[in-house]
Structure 1
Amino acid sequence: MILIRPSHTGLIQHDTPGTFAALMDLYERNYINLRRLLPVMPSVQTARVSRICGGLDLHLRVIDRCRYTSELLLSYQFDQDDGSVIAEPNLRIRVYHDARVAEVLAAQPRHPPTFAADLFGCHPTHSASLFARWRSNRFLYKWLTYCLRQGHYFAE
């Protein structure tokens, strides 16, 4: 009988911030959470609102729908004193139906982040773009998890 012992030296953990493996893991987790929140992908130009007691309304808009991909906008919306509405966070998300992954394409925060990449252990060898994508997709993962725990759900 042959015993194979895994060697743990030299391996990169899948959840190491800013790594490609961590980013791919987040894409998969985001897809799973999005499908829990939105089990049936609606047609293009569909807007839905998930309302829960004691929580903020979650707004979803499908802006593009193709055979293999969909693009969504997900946000909370806040009414301002002047009558305008601010969407925060305002995430543009692409869902790849065939690969079963979802990624943040654009995040438009009203306030710039108050933290630096080096606080999270981003090494000079890591790509700044890769780390920025990891950070925005990590935010989506945490936000979707929070929304699901609150009871948000987009029904048909």
Structure 2
Amino acid sequence: MSQALARTARIPRLSRFGWLMALYAENHARLTRLFAPEGLVAGSYLSSVGDGLDVRLDVIETHRYTVELRLTYDLCDPLTGEPDPSAFVRLYRDARQAEATHCYVGRRWQDVIGLYPPPAEVVSHRMRMNTFLGKWLEYLAEQGHGVATLRMVETSRLDVA
């Protein structure tokens, strides 16, 4: 029994915050492999694979260490007129992490979990958003989206900011 306890004591445990940081790193790797947004200039891009669901990547702003972007399908929700699903992503170039800051245009984290949530609730909310982003990026890659299918578009049907 003591050997089993000693063996499990050597296995490092990852905190929820550590898990979230690892999720950010995975999302950075997926996003970089898929669309290479670090090399894109600000503007709107479409990726079309012929399935009728074009993916829109809006590079909102590029900074020295970050890239702000929005990932969505090129269609609007008939009720709100906003793109849905939609994920706003902050890509950290130096840390090699990509964080989904919010996943629906009309709802920020304050609208979802309140103004003064406990820290555990904030981490849980961020984990859900970034798990969604990771699964979505994986799905887009399986559908054939990527750098080869990405093209810049002149006019944007959707407002970026």
Measured against the shorter chain, the TM-score band is 0.7 to 0.9
Q: Does the CA contact (< 8 Å) of 1:88 and 1:110 recur in 2? A: no
Compared with structure 1, are the counterparts of its residues 101 and 78 closer, same or farther at alpha carbon in structure 2 (3 Å cutoff)? same
The DSSP-based 3-state class of the residue aligned with 2:41 is coil
2:157 matched residue in structure 1: none
Residue of structure 2 in register with 1:128 after alignment? 121
Q: Name which of 131, 135, 153 aligns with 1:138.
A: 131
Query: CA–CA distance in 1 between the matches of 2:52 and 2:9?
Result: 46
Structure 2 residue identity aligned to 1:105 = T
Give the distance between the partners of 2:123 and 2:29, measured in 1 at CA: 21
Give 2:141's aligned amino acid: L
- Note if contact 2:72-2:87 (Cα within 8 Å) is conserved in structure 1: yes
**In the alignment, which residue of structure 2 is the partner of 1:150?**
143
- Pair 1:81–1:142, CA change in 2 (3 A): closer
The one of 92, 104, 111 aligned to 1:108: 104
How many residues matched?
A: 134
Unaligned runs of 5+ in 1: 1-5, 112-124
Higher helix share: 2
TM-score computed with the length of structure 2 as normaliser: 0.71
C-alpha displacement of 1:127: 0.4
When normalised by structure 1's length, the TM-score is 0.73
> Per-residue displacement from partner, 1:15-52 (whole Å, max 9, x unpaired)?
x8xx11210111001000101111253112x1100001
Structure 2: stretches of 5+ with no match in the other structure? 1-5, 108-117, 152-161
Q: Distance in 1 between matches of 2:10 and 2:124?
A: 21
Q: In structure 2, do the counterparts of structure 1 residues 131 and 79 end up closer, same or farther at CA, with 3 Å as the change threshold?
A: closer
After superposition, the C-alpha distances for 1:45-89 in whole angstroms (9 at most, x for unaligned) are x1100001225111000111001100000001325779x853111
State the alpha-carbon separation in 2 of the partners of residues 27 and 35 from structure 1: 12
Match of 1:27 among 24, 30, 39: 24
Question: What is the one-letter code of the residue matched to 1:43?
Answer: V
Q: Which amino acid aligns with 1:69?
A: T
Residue 60 of structure 2 is aligned to residue 63 of structure 1: yes
Q: Distance in 2 between matches of 1:105 and 1:148?
A: 21
CA distance in 2, matches of 1:43, 1:26: 26
Q: Is the aligned partner of 1:99 residue 2:95? A: yes
Distance 1:9 1:55, change over 3 A: farther
